[in-house]
Amino acid sequence: MDTSGADDETLMQAYGAGDLSAFETLYARHRAGLYRYLLRSTRNPHTADDLFQETWSRVVDARARWQPRAKFTTWLLQIAHNLAVDTHRRQPVHASPEESDAALATLAANEHEQPERQLSDFQMRRRLQLAIERLPDEQRHAILLRLEHDLSLDEIADVTGAPRETVKSRIRYATQRIREELDA
pLDDT at residue 176 above 70? yes
For the stretch 66-107, pLDDT in tens is 888 888 999 999 999 999 988 887 764 555 666 666 665 655
- What is the mean predicted confidence (pLDDT) over 151-179? 93
- State how far the Cα of 165 lies from the Cα of 122, in Å rounded to an integer: 33
DSSP per-residue codes, 91-135: ------HHHHHHHHHTSPPPTT--HHHHHHHHHHHHHHHHHHHTS
Model confidence at 118, pLDDT cuts 50, 70, 90, reads: very low
The pLDDT assigned to 96 comes to 61
The pLDDT assigned to 128 comes to 83
pLDDT at residue 127 above 90? no
- CB-based contact 99:44 (threshold 8 Å): yes
For the stretch 14-60, pLDDT in tens is 999 999 999 999 999 999 999 999 998 888 899 999 999 999 999 99
- State how far the Cα of 129 lies from the Cα of 98, in Å rounded to an integer: 12
The pLDDT assigned to 139 comes to 93
- What is the mean predicted confidence (pLDDT) over 128-136? 88
